[in-house]
Amino acid sequence: MLELGTLVIYGLAFGIPVIYLTARHFLSSRPPLPAPQTTTEAPKKLKSIMQAPREDLAPPKDDPYTTEELKKYDGSTPGLPIYVAIKGTIFDVSAKADVYGPGKSYNIFAGKDGSKGLGMSSLKPEHAVADYSGLDEKDRKVLEDWHSFFA
Ligand code: HEM
């Protein structure tokens, strides 16, 4: 037979931790779960590597150029603007002489309409021509995207 004193000691030894843990379980204040995210905002667009649209452009003009006239604007004459034509629209790219200037990566499109090459994502001189009638639907879409980008 266990003595009353021993029973009390065992009782306290097991009872107190059990009571403590039970109390902690029920009384603990857990941090509230974050509220579900509801938003009406449009999903953020991925940052493009392309430059942001410019706000500092002159309004469009309506003066036609012949292919021969356009050649002058290939960046080879200091002081003259640099032009790139896409599907017949001429864009002034003088501000980007670092890519369209002589010897630069995209100079192949300067002073001409190189629509076909843009549609084909090609930098080959033989592709940088205005006649894009041979492009398939996918390349025409690429060309259209370039036109929008330049516009
Ligand atoms: C290894 C392949 C290529 C790389 C890494 C590359 C990279 C780039 C980058 C980083 C830009 C943005 C430049 C800027 O906005 O300042 C750019 C613009 C451009 N890329 Fe490429 N490119 C590649 C091939 C081509 C090809 C094959 C074409 C032919 C169609 C092309 C045509 C252009 C044009 C027209 C622009 C617009 C430049 C502007 O006016 O800002 N690229 N490229």
Q: What is the pLDDT of residues 99-139, one digit of tens each?
A: 999 999 999 999 999 999 999 999 999 999 999 999 999 99
Query: If you measure from the C-alpha of residue 28 to the centroid of ligand 1, how many angstroms do you get, rounded to a whole number?
Result: 59
CATH code of 72's domain = 3.10.120.10
Q: How confident is the model at residue 28 (pLDDT cuts 50, 70, 90)?
A: low
Ligand 1 binding residues, C-beta < 6 A: 49-51, 93, 96, 99, 106, 117-118, 121-123
Spatial CB neighbours of 102, under 8 Å, sequence gap ≥ 6 = 74, 75, 76
Find the domain containing 134 and state its range: 67-150
Name which residue sits closest to atom 26 of ligand 1, judged by CA: 121
Q: What is the pLDDT of residues 52-66, one digit of tens each?
A: 888 888 899 999 999
95 domain residue, yes or no:
yes
111 domain residue, yes or no:
yes
Name which residue sits closest to atom 34 of ligand 1, judged by CA: 106
Q: How far is CA 126 from the centre of its chain?
A: 30
Using only the alpha carbons of the chain, give its radius of gyration: 36
134 domain residue, yes or no:
yes
Q: What is the pLDDT of residue 4?
A: 64
The alpha carbon torsion through 54, 60, 66, 69 (nearest 10 deg) reads -60
Q: What is the pLDDT of residues 71-105, one digit of tens each?
A: 999 999 999 999 999 999 999 999 999 999 999 99
CA-based torsion, 52, 63, 67, 132: positive or negative = positive
Q: What is the pLDDT of residue 53?
A: 81
- Give yes or no for residue 33 having a pLDDT over 80: no
37 domain residue, yes or no:
no
Name which residue sits closest to atom 12 of ligand 1, judged by CA: 50
Query: If you measure from the C-alpha of residue 145 to the centroid of ligand 1, how many angstroms do you get, rounded to a whole number?
Result: 13
pLDDT: which is higher, 54 or 14: 54
Q: What is the pLDDT of residue 55?
A: 84
